């Protein structure tokens, strides 16, 4: 590890950045250094801007990927090598407001039905039934399933916060069947090494294969199951605050986005056209 990389890593650790964020930021700075084949501390502002433009205009990376690069470079120049002028030439992160494509109940049902591997089926079922992120479902331990209280304990979710979410009666039955077959010792969904959890990339691959087999063409990875969980609860009458607590949202505003994708809420609103007293059979002029 170079001194600069070590300094950057230590600065992120001091600020409580997650391991995943640390890896992403270091990789983003290293990618620019590799692009220019120079140490990042000697790369001037014009070339940093040119590199960011290259990522978005030529490589056409997704907004999220470009955003990570911007944030990582801003952190490196402002916090690691303390170039205060960096705030003037690295553009601030902007909030993107894209709505997810929500899986219907029928699509989720079909997705789960096409899975023949019991472990894979229960894995995706747990993700949907509890509204979990992929990092949260792979981190589940057997002892996190509290069958007496009918809750699942989520350890160190986003923001390193623990929380509880619901344990479906149906899911509990499926988990018991799965446990009798697999007998996982510690991790609920272990990888090849029974003492270590399955990787997030493996879980994403399981979801993609199931989605393809089910003939689902809507965009999105396994996080779509979390979106579906929240939207389906909202459409069944559960209040936003309760949904937000189960999702681990720190602000109600994060949960309110599901109001924008809930078909039930939109279908209950009358269009102003329906309020007009128009004659039923007026001839066209």
**Annotated catalytic residue 158:** yes
**Annotated catalytic residue 223:** yes
Note whether 199 and 189 are within 8 A (CB).
Answer: no
What stretches of the chain adopt beta strand conformation (E)? 145-146, 151-154, 163-166
**Annotated catalytic residue 110:** no
The two structure tokens encoding residue 7? 């300094």
What contacts 7, CB < 8 A, 6 or more positions away? 80
Beta-sheet pairing, 145-146 with 151-154:
antiparallel
Cα 137-138-143 angle, rounded to 5 deg: 75
Token pair 């069947």: residue = 177
Q: Which of 45, 110, 158, 213 is catalytic?
A: 158
**Annotated catalytic residue 120:** no
**Annotated catalytic residue 218:** no
The two structure tokens encoding residue 83? 């170039």
**Annotated catalytic residue 77:** no
Nearest to 124 by CA among 145, 142, 139, 108: 108
Q: Which of 133, 211, 227, 232 is catalytic?
A: 133
Contacts 24+ apart (CB under 8 A), 146-151: 147/172
What contacts 124, CB < 8 A, 6 or more positions away? 111, 112, 115, 206, 207, 210, 222, 225
Query: What's the first-to-final CA gap in the chain, in angstroms?
Result: 79
Cα dihedral across residues 124, 126, 128, 132: positive or negative = negative
Report how far apart, in Å, the C-alpha atoms of 253 and of each of 33, 166, 202 are. 38, 21, 31
| Residues with catalytic roles | 133, 158, 223, 226, 249, 258
């Amino acid at each position: 590890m170079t001194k600069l990389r070590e300094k950057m890593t230590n600065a992120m650790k001091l600020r409580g950045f997650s391991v995943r964020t640390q890896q992403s930021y270091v990789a983003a700075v290293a990618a620019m250094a590799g692009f220019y084949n120079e140490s990042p501390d000697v790369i001037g502002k014009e070339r940093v801007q040119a590199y960011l433009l290259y990522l978005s205009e030529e490589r056409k990376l997704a907004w999220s990927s470009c955003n990570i690069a911007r944030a990582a470079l801003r952190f490196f120049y402002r916090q690691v090598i303390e170039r205060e002028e960096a705030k003037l030439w690295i553009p601030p992160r902007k909030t993107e407001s894209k709505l997810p494509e929500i899986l219907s109940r029928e699509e989720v049902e079909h997705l789960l039905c096409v899975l023949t591997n019991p472990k894979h089926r229960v894995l995706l079922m747990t993700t949907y039934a509890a509204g979990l992120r992929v990092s949260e479902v792979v981190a589940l331990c057997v002892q996190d399933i509290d069958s007496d209280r009918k809750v699942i304990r989520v350890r160190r979710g986003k923001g390193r916060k623990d929380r509880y979410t619901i344990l479906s009666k149906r899911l509990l039955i499926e988990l018991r069947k799965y446990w009798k077959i697999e007998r996982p010792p510690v991790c609920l969904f272990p990888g090849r090494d029974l003492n270590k959890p399955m990787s997030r990339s493996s879980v994403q691959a399981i979801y993609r294969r199931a989605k393809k087999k089910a003939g689902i063409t809507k965009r999105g990875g396994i996080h779509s199951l979390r979106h579906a969980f929240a939207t389906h609860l909202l459409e069944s009458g559960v209040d936003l605050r309760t949904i937000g607590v189960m999702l681990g949202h720190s602000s109600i505003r994060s949960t309110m986005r599901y109001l924008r994708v809930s078909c039930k809420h939109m279908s209950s609103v009358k269009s102003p056209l329906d309020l007009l007293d128009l004659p039923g059979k007026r001839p066209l002029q």
